[in-house]
Amino acid sequence: MTSRDSRDETVGQSRSSFCPDLQNPDSTVERVGFLDPASRFAPQGDGGDGSAEQGDGRSSSVQGDGGEGFAPQGDGGDGSAEQGDGRGSSVQGDGGEGDGGEGFAPQGDGGETRRVILVSPRGYCAGVDRAVATVERALDIHGPGVYVRKEIVHNKHVVNTLRGKGAIFVDEVDEVPIGSVVVFSAHGVSPAVRIAAQQRNLVTIDATCPLVTKVHKEAQRLAKAGLEILLIGHEGHEEVEGTQGEAPDSIRIIEQGDADTVEVADPARLAWLSQTTLSVDETRETVARLRSRFPALTDPPSQDICYATQNRQSAVREVAPQCDLVLVVGSANSSNSVRLVEVALDAGARGAQLIDDVTQIIPEWMSDVCTVGVTSGASVPDYLVREVVDFLQTSGFNEVIENQCIDETLTFALPPEVR
């Protein structure tokens, strides 16, 4: 079992509250990490550039041209997350009944009750849902033989399912036959990839998440202003490659450990951006360390880490102190899933494991475990989580409690080519 003591290093800090403002690391907002994009997608545009500006969950709306924007509206108040009386509700098994309260203290039949805390929100985010639906719709329209550059999302079950329906996954567009249909993945592509597709006369369908497109637009604007850009992210990740490709002469990729050593051309003309799926705490620390060296560091115009990444991390952070073990369903190449394991450990879970599906659960992990938290990354279909819960119930965890932190209702319109 991955434990807090066995890791090579501790990433971030444990926090009982969450501060969504990376640009002001001293601010503390109790449980405001749960961004509430409560309204549905607004298809009418305003003639803008189509990028999706991400707010803080309050009642603001930004639409793009042709429907690429979204309206992330909260309750119209100060942006704080509403806590309902269903937070401690329990789904009762045959071992007794829970008290429905904040303490999650179910009573068993004389022995110690073993329980599962099902963390919510979890699973598909709006960008992943849009990307998967884009490939499915393209297959409906064009039939089997639709190509997809890279994995549409980082989940092997999703990729295998789409492959079974006729999608063909390739690494680069030069593998796609001239004139064929190709879908760009949710992680985005660089301008060089688009040019290569045009040269092969490919029919392109862009399933890039609008929140990634937003970061691309920010990179273009900052580079045009003559700023050097430090892109906080993981070298080799498709999203980072796509963003860097928007301004390769202006962007340098850095990871957390580089903040104390990176050298820049002009500290007075410096900005930062980030990959959308990073740990919120890690990114906040990295920015703070950069700013201590470069006080003139320019912030992005809005939050880069996406609402779903923040919400899932905040939900895990809240539940982790109650858990002997947290199981995160997600693939190893999914950045946001890996981050959830780290967040669980930092927040107080005794152990945490990343699993693709129920078959990867090792029985020894359950030794001396009474409470298991279960969550999933943003590219994981929920049936995989349900299979894990079913397994735990048949293994003696006779109470399932759903810790519902917020309902996510944000959606993105499909690309015009498949509407």
Catalytic residue numbers, as ranges: 239
Q: Residue 216 CB: number of other CB atoms within 10 A?
A: 22
- Backbone φ, ψ for residue 232 (5° rounding): -80, 115
Asked if residue 90 lies in contact with residue 401, where contact means CB atoms within 8 angstroms, the answer is yes
Q: Residue 261 CB: number of other CB atoms within 10 A?
A: 8
Q: Can you tell me which residue has the tokens 């030069």?
A: 174
- The closest of 238, 236, 224 to 185, measured between CA atoms, is 238
Give 230's strand partners.
Answer: 252, 272
Given the DSSP bridges, would you call strands 351-355 and 2-3 parallel, antiparallel or unpaired?
Answer: antiparallel
Q: Return the SS3 of 293.
A: helix
Q: Return the SS3 of 120.
A: strand
Phi/psi class of residue 80: alpha, beta or left (left: φ > 0; alpha: ψ in -120 to 50)?
beta
Asked if residue 45 lies in contact with residue 69, where contact means CB atoms within 8 angstroms, the answer is yes
- Alpha-carbon distance 55 to 70, whole Å? 10
Amino acid at the residue 94: D
- Alpha-carbon distance 332 to 340, whole Å? 12
What do you get for the CA distance between the two ends of the chain, in Å?
45
- The closest of 327, 335, 340 to 374, measured between CA atoms, is 327
- The closest of 74, 72, 98 to 86, measured between CA atoms, is 98
Q: Return the SS3 of 308.
A: helix
- The closest of 133, 187, 183 to 336, measured between CA atoms, is 187
What is the number of residues in the chain? 419
Q: Return the SS3 of 127.
A: helix
- The closest of 379, 406, 285, 367 to 114, measured between CA atoms, is 367
DSSP symbol at 354: E
Q: Check the CA dihedral 246-335-59-44 and report its sign.
A: positive
Cα of 195 vs its chain's centroid, Å: 28
